[in-house]
Amino acid sequence: MEAIILAGGLGTRLRSAVPNLPKPMAPINGKPFLEYLFDYWLQQGIKRFILSVGYKGEVIREQFGTKYKDVDLNYAIEKEPLGTGGGLLLSIKQLKSQKPFLLLNGDTFFAVNLKNLFKHHNDCNSDITLSLVKIPNNKRYSAILLNKYGLINSIERRIESSKEDLSNGGVYVMKKNLFEECKLTSKKKCSLENNLIPDLLSQKRRVSGFVSSAKFIDIGVPSDYNRAEKILT
């Protein structure tokens, strides 16, 4: 199975803690955050990575080159900031297989079991499956509402709340040709979360949610980045 890692963001909220590096290269216990993603997903069976890079992408390429351990690393290089959606659409062109692929946020570690995720994706006959994490006292993330069949009904705009919500954990399985089928490939700069996924929902595509209680950390803000050292051990 192939995986695309979205690693092109500007990382403005993390600059106070990591001023000179792209977010996926932020050091955790002496090694780049991206290395934790590689190691975990290699263990889960990923055979090839495509990295969508933009801001300071040369730092990632200089560190890892075209090989990590025994798997190939390929790069989709943004000439201008494209957002998570634009970076994904650019990267899809480099996929070799027609089979569903894994998509990962480059600033999020979510230790989802790939076999279980893929089984849920198939059982729901999904076009795309989002891995969902339970967030208590949710202050950062949009809330995702599931129906009894495991399909996503809606994504509610982020509202600071004291309750527990299901939120997007940044690990997806999706069909390669999904955006072509939905005529969404003409978009250039766009957000996966705010544009492409809502467009899929509006077109009544099968968007499912896989709930997991696995280890989770999003290093996008300094407070959570500082927690990562204890979580990624």
H or E element, residue 84:
helix 83-92
| Total-model pTM | 0.94
Residue 116 to residues 22, 145, 169, Cα–Cα distance (Å): 31, 20, 15
CA 54, CA 51: separation in Å to the nearest integer?
A: 10
* Res 158 pLDDT > 80: no
Degrees to nearest 5, angle at CA 207 with 201 and 209: 130
For the segment 147-172, the average pLDDT, to the nearest whole number, is 83
Q: What is the pLDDT of residues 19-34, one digit of tens each?
A: 788 899 999 999 999 9
pLDDT at 155 (0 to 100) = 87
Q: For residues 81 and 91, what is the distance between their CA atoms, to the nearest angstrom?
A: 14
Gap between the Cα atoms of 143 and 158, Å rounded: 7
CA distance 150 to 129: 10
Pair 117, 173: CB distance under 8 Å: yes
The CATH architecture assigned to 2-231 reads Alpha-Beta Complex (3.90)
pLDDT at 8: 86
Distance CA 29, CA 115 (A): 29
More confident residue, 143 or 31: 31
What are φ and ψ of residue 115, in 5° steps? Answer: -65, -40
Domain boundaries, the chain: 2-231
Query: How many helices (H) and strands (E) in the chain?
Result: 7, 14
pLDDT of residue 86: 95
pLDDT in tens, 89-127: 999 999 999 999 999 999 999 999 999 999 999 999 999
**The predicted structure's pLDDT at residue 159:** 60
Of 7, 3, 1, whose CA–CA distance to 171 is shortest?
3
Supply the pLDDT for residue 12.
Answer: 78
168 strand-pairing partners: 132
> CA–CA separation, 201 vs 154, rounded Å?
8
Three-state DSSP class for 33? helix
H or E element at residue 120: helix 114-123
Q: State how far the Cα of 11 lies from the Cα of 13, in Å rounded to an integer.
A: 6
State the average pLDDT over residues 35-42.
98
* Both structure tokens of 101: 């692929």
> Where residue 14 falls among pLDDT bands split at 50, 70, 90?
confident
CA angle 147-149-150, nearest 5°? 70
Check residue 38 and give its pLDDT: 98
